[in-house]
Structures are given as structure tokens and as C-alpha cells.
Amino acid sequence: MPSQPSADIAIIGLGVMGCNLALNFADHGYNVVAYDAFPQVAEKASQELGERVTVCSSLGLLVAALKKPAQIMMMVKAGQVVDDALASLTPLLSAGDIVIDGGNSFYRDTERRQAEMEARGLAFIGLGVSGGETGARFGPALMGGGAPEALSRVEKAFSAIAAKAKDGTGCYVAHGSGGAGHFVKTVHNGIEYALMQLLAEAYLMLKGPAGLSHQAIADRWRQWNQGPSASYLLEISADIAATIDPDSGNPLVEMIRDVAGHKGTGRWTTEAGLDYGVAVPTIAAAFMARAISGLPRLDLTKQTIESGSTDHALADALELAFPAAMFAAYLQGLELIEVASNENDWDIDLAKVAKGWRSGCIIRSVMLDPIADSVGQGSVLESAYGRDLLQLAEQPLRAVVQQAAASGTPVPAFYSVLGWLDGRRSSCLGANFIQGQRDYFGAHTFERIDRSGHFHFNWQSN
């Protein structure tokens, strides 16, 4: 260890993400030191990182190696582990040092930790990191939140390691104060849930009622990936559909137990929709579908109408409907971010959110450019891009939902998309009838369309 502090940044937590971020920083000329609380993990990481990153044997040596003010990035599991790590780390720090939490932390926990650190003269940044191990190594999408002066100090380093969009724009965005960064990352993951569920439902429809083989599904999806649905998740889904299990000779996906895991961000996004009064039905449906997948399957009689042969019309309808479903998932997330930003005074720029997701992250797609261009020009749903997309998808989406219902294929996310779109463009949702009911039994009053004010009617006198 050098006698004079020479390290630019430290990484705490040397799992796959931590190691790859350390190497990413080193690639861009940063002197990196690292630490892991588990000696066996630290030893393995030291061998993988080689001489490019110095792995320290204690937090004290790690902090001593850093230039001041120190910049320390934690890549540890969200929850109590973050608080435990801070409890060990903060007594070693000096005023002005910055700690960055790069895990999937709940944004309110991030705000609590910021207040606790600020009371000690320290800065704390909540940083959303997306892109998995490959993104961490070669360019993730990064979503920052914290005090403006702290964000400005880390901007150069995070801009250097972040992914770059095709136009050269970096995918590190400082989204605002408080928990803004972690909230944007949470919603990013909620959208990810929705897109993954929509692809899973498309898979069920294509192999079931449409009657396509797994290879034909993969070929279809590679064709889709040349059009408006082009995205990272669609690309990997084609690979998954085409992969054969070497042990059984069957499609590998068919050998995987039909239960989907979840770690919290999909639930947090759904709960945030409830907290802020924003409709995110496709994200909620995706989370609920994962929850249902963990329940026992019931042996109940189900009347279904199965396709007797390959249904190319249904496959074609899915291709046209899918971009509208993706579009709905993105917009539900962006609307939630907008409302939360307004209520928390984060001042998040939705165009920058969409642009920051264009490369490096799991939900990157060609659709994010026109979405970003439409933000700030009125309703994105009513933009020229939105209108064209939805017009093409109108009848195909209805055909997909109808065929799913007829065949007994569970597609809750597609159902939610159609319900959300119909609700957004319907002249009447029946809410007037609900207000009549509320006024009847609870005198909650109602507003009229022909005069201003709030009114109560004695319904039983009529």
C-alpha cells in the first residue's frame, strides 16, 4: 500500500457487479481500491482483478489509500446490509467525503441515510445501476440522486464509465436531490418487470394458440427486433427460445421450473403507483403474475379453444400489438416518475430519464428516442409517434386479447395494456356512476357537467 493516498475511488462489495465496476473505472484511468467483508470473496476478487485494482484487507486501509475528499461506492445487498456497512465505514471518514450506494435500495431508505450522513458532515448518493454484469464491466446506465454539490463531484467519474448512446450521449444522469436516483431505478425495474411479462405472454401465445415451434418463435422475434419493438430484452428472448437443453434435447426454457423470482423493485413500483395515485396496471400485473407463479396450480376444469394448426394471423397480430404494449409500459413508468418528482421537488427531466435508458440498461430499446423527443410537447400518448403506433396496434391488440381469452391463455399484462389504453381514450369510464353510488350511501357529493360546485342529491326521494 503506498504511503501517500493515491486512489481515486473505492469499491466496497466485490461480487460480480463490484468487480466489474472496479475494472471499468480502471479502464478509464482511475486508481481503484476495493474491499469485501468476506475474506474468501476478497481473495477470489483479488485474483480476478490482478494488479489493476488493489484489494485492501480492512476498511481502515481502504480509507487511508483514498485521496481526499474520498469517494466510496458500495455494491452491497439492499436493506440492513447497507446500514451495517455505513455503521462500520462512517467513523473512518472525514467531512466532505462521499459514499455512493449502488444497490437497489428503497428510495426512502436512501433519503434517511442522506440525512444521517449529512448530520456527520458527509455526503450520500443513491445511484441506480442497470445493465447486469456486462453493463457494469463495459458501460452501465447510471441514475444519480443526492445533494447537487455531491452529484457534481462524481459526475466526471460516472460519465466516464457509463454506457454511451448511438449519438454519443452518456447514460449517466443526475436526476435530482434526495432519493430521485433510486426512485428512477426502481421504476426502471418496474418497467423491466412489465416488458419481461409481456414477452413471456407473447411466448405463451406463439407456442400455444399460434402453434409455432420454439425455433420459429426465435426467428419471429429476430424479425421483430428489426422494427419498432427492437430492444435488448427482445434480443435475448430470441436466444432463450432457440436454446436446446443438451441433457434432454428439449428447448431449455421448457425444462425450467415455471416459477419466477422477484426481489422487491416490482412491488415497490406497484406500491408507489398506489402511494402517488398513478395507474401502473401493466407493471402491477407483471408483479402479480410472478406472485401467482409461486402458488400451487389447481386441478380445475378449463374450457379452452386450441388452435389445430399454425396460426400465422395471430403471430402477425402479436408483432403489431407488441410495440403498443411496450409503449404503454414505458409511459406508465414515466408518468409515475413525473408525479413523484413533483411531490418530492426532485425536478426530474423525463426526457433525460428516457435518454439515460437508451444504452447500457436492461430496458434499452429503439423506442426510447421517439419517447424522449415527445416529452415536453404535450401528451406522449397523443404525439405523432404515439398516435401512429397505437393506430397500427388497435385491432391487433384486441385480436390478441380475444384469442387469449378464447384459448384460456393467461395474459394479464396484455389485458392491462388494453384496459389502460381504452381507459385513457374513453369519453366515459363509469366514474360518474361511481360518484352517484358514493353520494347515495355516503353523501360524498359530486360535481356536475353543467355548473360548478359540489352537490348532494337525496337519491331515495326520487
- Positions annotated as catalytic residues are 185, 192
Instruction: Find cell 486512489 and name the residue.
Output: 7
Q: 279: burial class by Cβ within 10 Å (0-12, 13-18, 19+)?
A: middle
Distance separating alpha carbons of residues 301 and 124, to the nearest angstrom:
56
**Residue 5, helix vs strand vs coil:** coil
Phi/psi of residue 27, nearest 5 degrees: -55, -30
Contacts of 169 (CB under 8 A, 6+ apart): 355, 358
Distance separating alpha carbons of residues 288 and 71, to the nearest angstrom:
39
By C-alpha distance, which of 70, 171, 169, 161 is closest to 124? Answer: 70
Distance separating alpha carbons of residues 203 and 224, to the nearest angstrom:
13
Name the grid cell of 326: 411496450
Helix runs in 381-442, H state only: 384-407, 412-425, 431-442
Name the grid cell of 156: 466526471
Phi/psi of residue 171, nearest 5 degrees: -100, 35
Distance separating alpha carbons of residues 355 and 270, to the nearest angstrom:
23
Distance separating alpha carbons of residues 75 and 222, to the nearest angstrom:
34
Distance separating alpha carbons of residues 374 and 369, to the nearest angstrom:
9
Distance separating alpha carbons of residues 151 and 348, to the nearest angstrom:
14
Strands 9-12 and 446-447: unpaired
- Angle between the 80-89 and 107-118 helix axes, to the nearest 10 degrees? 20
Strands 32-35 and 53-55: parallel
